[in-house]
Amino acid sequence: MTAWLHELRLQAVLDVIRDRAPRSVLDLGCGDGDLLVRIVGDIAIDRVVGVDLCERSLARLRTRLDAARGHGSTVELLCGSLLDVPSRFSGFDCAVLVETIEHLDADHLGAFERSVFQRVRPATVVVTTPNAEFNDLLGVPRHRFRHPDHRFEWDRARFQRWAGGVAKRQGYAVSCSDIAGRHPRLGGASQMAVFDLPGMNQPMTQHDKVA
């Protein structure tokens, strides 16, 4: 993925976070922290938790956080699985999963759904994943994925069916959009679903936003 598309994807997620104005954020599958460092540096949030399976990634993230200038957020990093997010994080305002679910085996998506949408149940959940329709523009052969660790890559119709099913089963409203470039026929390099519990963390209107 080219750097500019990556930046556009992160910006799209940050825009959602700013609109919802959460006080607590879970970055699930945070990796080296490209998003988490921006959250801590750019947005005033009381509590931020990053979760990832890779200890080396978390170690690199700790170094990045030491060098970052933030807004006084309390930051916790945890080595753990998306399939078993601790229930002590129940009640967080927002959870974000940036290019993460495609690293799960498809038959584990049910366990992921129960872990995040039932056990932890954030007011807002933001999920991005590659758009398989865009792969031709990136030079990815039809028989391959963008990354060797990907277990699947969905087209937009398949992603929307999955997101709609999760929303219906778990009592969320959901909206899907193309992000990271918008080809008129193939969509964006990535696609994003934003799940909101009705009546909680709704996006602010322009009148409500503070300049």
* CATH architecture for segment(s) 3-187: 3-Layer(aba) Sandwich (3.40)
* The pLDDT of residue 66: 87
List of the chain residues with pLDDT < 50: 204-211
* The pLDDT of residue 210: 30
Count CB-CB contacts under 10 A for residue 162. Answer: 19
**pLDDT (tens digit per residue) in 15-45:** 999 999 999 999 999 999 999 999 998 888 9
* The pLDDT of residue 70: 66
Q: Tell me the whole-structure pTM to 2 decimals.
A: 0.90
Map out the domains of the chain as residue ranges. 3-187
* The pLDDT of residue 72: 73
CB < 8 Å & 24+ apart, contacts of 115-120 = 115/82, 115/83, 115/84, 115/85, 116/28, 116/82, 116/85, 117/166, 117/169, 117/170, 117/172, 117/195, 118/170, 119/85, 119/87, 119/90, 120/26, 120/85, 120/87, 120/89, 120/90, 120/92, 120/95
- Which tokens hold the place of 34? 């490209």
Three-state DSSP at 124 gives strand
The helix, strand and coil proportions of the chain, stated in percent and rounded to the nearest 5, come to 40, 20, 35
**pLDDT (tens digit per residue) in 157-177:** 999 999 999 999 999 999 999
